[in-house]
Every structure is written in structure tokens, then in C-alpha cells.
Structure 1
Amino acid sequence: MPAKAKKQKPTSLAHGRPPGIRKPTPSLSSKATRTLIRGHHQLHKALAQAEQAGDHVKAASLKKQIEEYGGLKSYQQASIQGQSNERGGDTSKVLLDWLRESLGPAKSSSVKPRMLEVGALSTTNACSLSGLFEMTCIDLNSQAKGIEQQDFMERPLPNSADDKFDIISLSLVLNYVPDHQARGQMLHRTLQFLRQSSDLRSTLPSYDSVLPSLFLVLPAPCVTNSRYLNEAKLTEIMESLGYKMTQRKLTTKLIYYLWLLKEGPAPSKRSFHKREINPGMTRNNFCVTMT
């Protein structure tokens, strides 16, 4: 009789993040910013593979390379510059455009939808400045006042509906998680932090057409050029969690989604394994799995 599989603990995001360093990163050009971010992702991917294989010598070498490459500080600095207004990189503008019509103008006296922004780099993006939301911002290594230093995978679960959120933002976060199983765990964990429509109606009537929702942003190639993932499979995964796509935008670099959490319990849990669906030498290996 086969032994029972050991229950897997949700993976901490910090597992795949590089160590921080003290030196600040100077201002970078757009090309240098892209090169730095791409280099970090390649090193993190190699590190995750080495750790999974139990190759401690290689893992130690890769960690040293990541430190020499600038660590978490340089990655975050590059990400902040890449999302600056002058470079047109504030992804929350897209979310704000999608929600503004339904949410209406900001009213200081009204109850506002609660947003949890995971991987927040600043408190001055479009959603934070709109006045439409009650914001909670978290990141593994806080870079600004108002951002709580916290790993989403280790954030305490809400005790009641009042502690939950109406929208969660995962903008360029899921692709940073180095392990395909951990990505699935992250998506599944969002369900525990979103209020149900029935709870939301008592405080935010008429918003149930757009909330509760998950805002998901990925580099476009994660969906359009992966061996293991395409939009059909991503949609299947999200629908298995109880989400329905309500908005989508594809650019040359990014793909944006707004997923509405449907009322009621999630459908029966399904498994999604790593299986090649788009063969090709030029494909990347981005993948999301659930077991």
C-alpha cells in the first residue's frame, strides 16, 4: 500500500526572493531596467531548480550571484522605475479604469471597497491616490511608509468577513514566485481573503457586478508563449477556484485580468499538472499547477 503523501505547507514567497543588500541602486535606463529584472528572474528560476534537486552547492553559488547582482533591493528599484509614471508602467491605472464607472466618484463619508495590494512598491499609484479604496499594501521588503512588510503566504487568515477584502491585486507578483506549485497555492489562498458577494452587499450595495475580484497582471509571454500554459488553461484553473473573467487587456509586454469571484462555494477541487501544451524551442517554461 503506498504511503500517504505528506501534506504540503503553502510555500512562503520569501523562499524565492533574493536577499536584500544595503547599497541603493542608481537610476537606470529602460533597457538596463529590463535587463536587471530579466536577470533576476533567470537566477531565481535556477535557484529554485537547484534547491528542488537538493544541489546545495549550486544553490549557494546562485545565492551569491543574486547578492552580487544587487539582491532584492536592486530588483525592487528596477521595478519601481519600470512602473513610474514617466515610463507609463503603473498597472493600477488599468484596474482603476475598469472599476471607476461601477464604483463612482470617491466620497470621503462613504464606505469604500477594501483592497489588498500584494507586492506593493509605492503608495502613490493610481488606485492609492484615487480615494476610491481603503488600501492595505504589503510587500516582502517594504520600500515606503504605508507598506507593511509581510509575506502574503504567511499573512494570518481573516477571523471574520469584516477582516476580508473586496479586491486583491496581484500585479506582477505571481510570475515572481519561482515554483509552479507555489503559484497555484497563491491563487488558491486568495479565496480565503475575499469577501463573498452576500457579505459585500450589506455594506457596498450594487457593487456585486465587479466585486469581490482579483486583479492579476502577468508578463504577456507567461500566457502567450509558454510550453505549459495558455489562456484557455489559465481560465480553466481560475474557474476551478470559482472565478469568472470580467475584463482582459493584452499589450506587447503585459496581460491584465479582472476575475470576479462568483457567489457560493468554489467548485469541486481539481488537479492541474505540468503538461506540455505548446511545444517549441522558443517557448518559456512558465507554469501554474494545483494538486
Structure 2
Amino acid sequence: MTIKKKSRVTSLAAGRPPTARKPKSISRKATKALINTHHVLEKKKAQAIAKGDRAAEIAIESEIDALGGIEKYQLASLQGQRLDRGGDSSHILMEWLNSMDSTISSSAGAHLKMLEVGALSTKNACSASGFFDVERIDLNSQSDGILQQDFMKRPLPKDDSERFDIISLSLVLNFVPDAMGRGAMLLRTLDFLKQPDTQYSSGLRTFFPSLFMVLPAPCVTNSRYMNESHLETIMNALGYVKAQSKITHKLVYHLWVRKSGVQCPPATFKKTELRPGHSRNNFAVVLSGSSG
């Protein structure tokens, strides 16, 4: 009887369980289809929960699980960030900030703090820039450098030392399944950003404190309930002013600088049709007057 020699582990990856191994690449078409389907199912799930339809909720959860759950969705999102597919969205922010590189570098002890919500990687353009101390969170962390946390349940800052100079919501707001929840998320960013009267240098004051937000372009360009002007009106009511923007056929990028407090009395924005048409999507943001 021969005794088989125990195979020697030649790398850390080889010694990890199969779920930790590098996943296979997903085609561009499959990536888009998976992300879109996941968004639709999450929206239907939220509607079922709102109606108290537990049977429908369970059925939709089964469909999501059959697709691979949040893990497969995140894999598709990571594939979408590959350089041969346009790279990660934060490189646009860095293009805007590079114009003030000398200002940031000369601000001794500035230690600009970024909160990246929905982080998928610790190696994106913002992380590699050296401009920021980055804190990363995500509902389902895929990396040791990303804290598994729900932004909407994150403990509120005790003082300014726990607040941030910039928050990144890159392809996050569109993942919130209902309009009211999106409004609540935008309101909540104000709790975690430094106040607009924070003592920045004149150069830094141009872009900080701020919110970097990225959405699929159709959320703004082809929605029944949203367009660029309406989005800006909502953000202005929250005390944000648009500093930079860019629209491509796939994505819309905005840098919103916090310049004032929330309008008083707080503004209310309902789901109002702005562009009729059967080909429109239903992306919307609802704000029910709230102080913050």
C-alpha cells in the first residue's frame, strides 16, 4: 500500500478555502445584467416589506440568493471598476483635486479625512493619492481594510474629531431601494461632515467639507422624477453647492461642497413627475422636512 505525500502549500492563496480564491472574470454584458437584476430585486423586496407581504419577501430573497447574493453583486461591481472598463470612479474626484495638490500638500497637519461608504477596494485612486486618511465601510466587507457597517446605523459622531472632510457615495444612493431612504441617506451625510465654518485654508475651502456622489447617468438623465436641476435644488436645500460635475453616457459625477445649514424651515420634496414617458425609470429622492 502506497502512502500519498501531503501536498505542500505554496502560497497563502492556495491555503485558503475556495471562497477566498481569486474569482473568475465576469463579462461586461453579464456584469451589467447582474447589477441591474440585483437592483430590481432589492426594490421589489423593499416594496414587499413595506406592504407586510412576508411570502413575497421570502420569494424575492430566494431569487437574490440564486443570483449569488450580495457577494456576487459586489464581484460584478469590482469587475466594473477594472481599468479596462473605465477604472474606479474616484479617479474623477482626484482629477478635480489635483488642481489644488500644492494647497493640500502645503497644509501642514491638515490630515484630510474621508469616509468611503460602499467601499469595494482599498486600492482605488483616493486611497493611493496620499491626500486622505480613508475610513472605508460596506454592508458586506470584502477586504480587511473595509469595516462591515451600515452607514444608516453608524453611531453618530461625538465631536468634530469623529467627523469627515469628505464623504464618498459612489454608486451607493441608487442602491437604496426607495426614494424616502435615499433622502434619509443624504440628510445623514450632514451628521458626519464637518461644519461649513470649519477653519480651512482659502484653497481647501473651495472643495471641503464635501460630498462626492456618483450615480448611474439614467438616474438623472432618464428618470420620471429626477433631472439635474431638481437634484441641485434638493442638494441646495441641504446646504450643498455644486462645485464640480461630469456626465458620461454611463455615469454622473458630482462634488457637492457644504456651504450652509439645512434650509429653515426644512424643505419637503415629494415624488413629482418631471418627465413623462414609458421609457423612463423611477429613480427619485424624497425629503420629508427634517432639521439637521
TM-score using structure 2 length:
0.87
Structure 1: segments with no counterpart, 5+ residues: 1-21
- Paired residue for 2:76, among 71, 78, 81? 78
What is the Cα-based RMSD across aligned positions, in Å? 1.8
Listed as ranges, the matches of 1:206-221 within 5 Å are 206-221=203-218
Structure exhibiting the larger radius of gyration computed from Cα positions: 2
In 2, the alpha carbon distance for the partners of 1:85 and 1:115 equals 23
Listed as ranges, the matches of 1:82-97 within 5 Å are 82-97=80-95
DSSP-derived class of the 2:97 partner: helix
Structure 2: segments with no counterpart, 5+ residues: 1-18
- Paired residue for 1:248, among 245, 263, 277? 245
Aligned length: 267
Partner of 1:64: 62
1:196 and 2:173 are equivalent in the alignment:
no
In 2, the alpha carbon distance for the partners of 1:70 and 1:57 equals 20
Shift of 1:276: 1.2
Q: 1:102 touches 1:210 (CA, 8 Å); kept in 2?
A: no
Report the identity percentage: 51
1:267 and 2:263 are equivalent in the alignment:
yes
1:151 and 2:182 are equivalent in the alignment:
no
Q: 1:175 touches 1:219 (CA, 8 Å); kept in 2?
A: yes
Deviation string 1:206-246 (CA, Å, 9 cap, x unpaired) is 31111001001000000110111111111111000000001
Distance 1:83 1:107, change over 3 A: farther
What letter is aligned with 1:259?
W
Q: 1:227 touches 1:285 (CA, 8 Å); kept in 2?
A: yes
Deviation string 1:61-106 (CA, Å, 9 cap, x unpaired) is 0100000111000000000110122321310000011112224365
Listed as ranges, the matches of 1:1-291 within 5 Å are 26-104=24-102, 106=105, 110-201=109-200, 206-263=203-260, 265-268=261-264, 269-291=266-288
In 2, the alpha carbon distance for the partners of 1:134 and 1:108 equals 14
Shift of 1:205: 5.7
Which structure has more RCO (C-alpha within 8 Å, separation ≥ 6)? Answer: 1
Decide which moves more: 41-50 or 254-263: 41-50
In 1, the alpha carbon distance for the partners of 2:190 and 2:229 equals 21
Distance 1:106 1:35, change over 3 A: farther
DSSP-derived class of the 1:245 partner: strand
Shift of 1:198: 2.8
Deviation string 1:12-69 (CA, Å, 9 cap, x unpaired) is xxxxxxxxxx698532011111111111011111111122122211111010000011
DSSP-derived class of the 1:198 partner: coil
In 2, the alpha carbon distance for the partners of 1:49 and 1:266 equals 29
Deviation string 1:151-185 (CA, Å, 9 cap, x unpaired) is 10011111111111000000000000001101000
What letter is aligned with 1:234?
L
DSSP-derived class of the 1:214 partner: strand
What letter is aligned with 1:117?
E
Partner of 1:16: none
In 2, the alpha carbon distance for the partners of 1:217 and 1:242 equals 18
Partner of 2:11: none
